[in-house]
Structure 1
């Protein structure tokens, strides 16, 4: 049974908070105590503020515990989750929709052209035309330099295969397996977060 002298904290690795806003305990961690009054008091406890010039902030869990202990020294705190919480500070600046659309279009175009060039270079390296010609000879017994009846299904299959590989055709399910792209993006975001935490901590020590 949980006593009134126990407080449980569950930290998230990353949170978003607007600039020029007080940072409260409830913004960073989930709080639970059998004493509802004390729980609400801790949730509203201010432990800092986001400045307009800040881009990121790192709040160690030990700092949150220290602030809570200042309110009630004899409280037993049980903490779960990340030992350091990364705060991404959101500025009030709103990006123009047209500009955002142009950026997305430009990036999509560059990726499309880059992928196309990569596929073309791969086919030149392995001499795909010759390979399809050999397949044509094996299947129909005739040497066709440009077997269109093989090139068309091959091209369609290449596109369908890539889309299927990245799980973008089938309907989304609650327990669906993540695509390789989603796994790679998740790993990339975690690496970026770790890097930002290290850099932010280093800058805070220098200041």
Structure 2
């Protein structure tokens, strides 16, 4: 009875410079218990300084390493054909004055955007009209409408982004997180396609 080695390449990995990447780091492996741990320790690639921030490891590199160690093994491979390895660097502590300037810029920009939107749709006139329809009286400053509306805008932003500072309200991802996820997927696809073109160019 054949005992194939089941192999699945992970999608992404984050390592430090000079790290030796093993099969266990980049693959999900299922085999018999005796040889599975030995396979996990097989080195595949060592991160070099000239690699930059990203390294693409192809499934063919994995197969070559496995064939050199276990030439007679039957392989069952599923999942992605490449993995993106992100080379981390030491995070610099942000400067307080720079954080404050960015925060101030975003605060002023978002405030101006909301005010410009309300001017475009004539929100004060809408509130005055609603106040007149409800009470039958005219008022230039219907505060009992405007104050709850302003509070509601802030609460709506919190619910929309699903965050209060660093705390999430629910486990459901926010629209911003979904957009960032799609953006990261597009970047990963670009890196993979670019790497394939570079490999084809060097072969010709």
Provide TM-score, normalisation by structure 2. 0.85
Residue 201 to residue 129, structure 1, CA distance change in 2 (3 Å): same
Residue 16 to residue 161, structure 1, CA distance change in 2 (3 Å): same
Residue 110 to residue 198, structure 1, CA distance change in 2 (3 Å): farther
1:122-178 Cα shifts (integer Å, max 9, x gaps): 1111111111110111111112122222211110011111212222369756xx332
Q: Distance in 1 between matches of 2:55 and 2:168?
A: 38
Give the structure 1 partner of residue 184 of structure 2: 189
Residue 110 of structure 1 deviates from its aligned partner by 3.0
Tell me the number of residue pairs that the alignment of Structure 1 and Structure 2 aligns.
199
1:68-117 Cα shifts (integer Å, max 9, x gaps): 011111111112222110000123x341x243x55554444333322222
1:12-35 Cα shifts (integer Å, max 9, x gaps): 111011111222111211222114
Task: Confirm or deny that 1:40 pairs with 2:42.
Answer: no
Give the structure 2 partner of residue 22 of structure 1: 20
Provide TM-score, normalisation by structure 1. 0.84
RMSD, matched Cα: 2.4
What SS does structure 2 have at the residue aligned with 1:78?
Answer: strand
Give the structure 2 partner of residue 79 of structure 1: 77
Residue 124 to residue 202, structure 1, CA distance change in 2 (3 Å): same
* Greater Cα shift, 55-64 or 162-171: 162-171
Residue 76 to residue 110, structure 1, CA distance change in 2 (3 Å): farther
Where in structure 1 are there 5+ consecutive unaligned residues?
Answer: none
Q: Distance in 2 between matches of 1:46 and 1:165?
A: 45
Residue 12 to residue 159, structure 1, CA distance change in 2 (3 Å): same
Q: Distance in 1 between matches of 2:97 and 2:8?
A: 40
Q: Residue 18 of structure 1 contacts residue 90 of structure 1 at CA under 8 Å; is this kept in 2?
A: yes
